[in-house]
Structure 1
Amino acid sequence: MSRLSDLRFRAATAFQRRVGNPVLRRLPLQTVLETTGRVSGLPRPTPVGGRRVGNSFWLVSEFGERSQYVRNIKADPRVRVRIRGRWHTGTAHLLPDDDPVARLRSLPRFNSMGVRAFGTDLLTVRVDLDG
């Protein structure tokens, strides 16, 4: 990873951890991905942008396998997603062969702009929702 990419990663994750995520995850209509902490076993809610298509929810991780929620998914793919205020259980799949830039074009524009601007290692994630 280049020095600039590392700096962008550290700055963005510090802001998200301390400011963005604590505020956004409390908003009732914010989409939230809840994973299980791979060490603690506790629920880890993360505000995300994405879109439900049928029985799947699609999103793009801006930092790929460096994202804490991606690391949690690798340890336990069972997740919950809050979409429009309603929780859904599902199984997350990391899709390294998917084109994340093309995928972002089909997801909500505002979030996609942020992911493209700050992301250093984009990774598509699909959550297959139960029932």
Structure 2
Amino acid sequence: MSDHVDRKYRTVTAFQRRINPVLRRLPLQTVLETTGRVSGLPRRTPVGGRRVGDSFWLVSEYGERSQYIRNIRADPRVRIRIQGRWHTGTAHPLPDDDPRARLRTLPRMNSMAVRAFGADLLTVRVDLDG
């Protein structure tokens, strides 16, 4: 990873560490809950994306470097809070999907932020249970 991308990653993650605890508490904020790969504890991350049928689609800003992607790789069972309601599901990182094209199908404001702040985009599909 280039020095520029590394600095960008450190800056964005420092900001997110401060803002994410606030966002997680907002009742209508979409939140992805993974299981910590080391701690085994629930880890909640505010995300943007869109539900399409029985799937929820999102794009990770830093791909494999994102902590929630690492947690998904260790245990793909997740919960996601959509419009205040929790759903269980199985997350699938999709490295062959075009994340920039995917962002064009997702909510505009979040997609703009992901494009602006991200560096190694990765599409994720969460297949929701019943």
Matches within 5 A, 1:75-94: 75-94=74-93
Aligned equivalents of 2:65, 2:14: Cα separation in 1: 13
Aligned equivalents of 2:19, 2:125: Cα separation in 1: 23
- Structure 2 residue 40 is the aligned partner of structure 1 residue 71: no
AA in 2 matched with 1:124: T
CA RMSD after TM alignment: 0.4
- Structure 2: gaps (5+ residues): none
CA deviations on 1:61-103 (whole Å, 9 max, x unpaired) are 0000000000000000000000000000000001000000000
Aligned equivalents of 1:48, 1:73: Cα separation in 2: 14
3-state DSSP of counterpart to 2:105: coil
Matches within 5 A, 1:35-46: 35-46=34-45
In the alignment, which residue of structure 1 is the partner of 2:54? 55
Identity of aligned residues (%): 82
| TM-fit CA distance, 1:20 | 1.4
Aligned equivalents of 1:20, 1:66: Cα separation in 2: 19
In the alignment, which residue of structure 1 is the partner of 2:12? 12
- Structure 1: gaps (5+ residues): none
Please identify runs of 4+ aligned residues in structure 1 that moved more than 4 A.
none
Q: TM-score, normalised by structure 1?
A: 0.99
Aligned equivalents of 2:30, 2:87: Cα separation in 1: 11
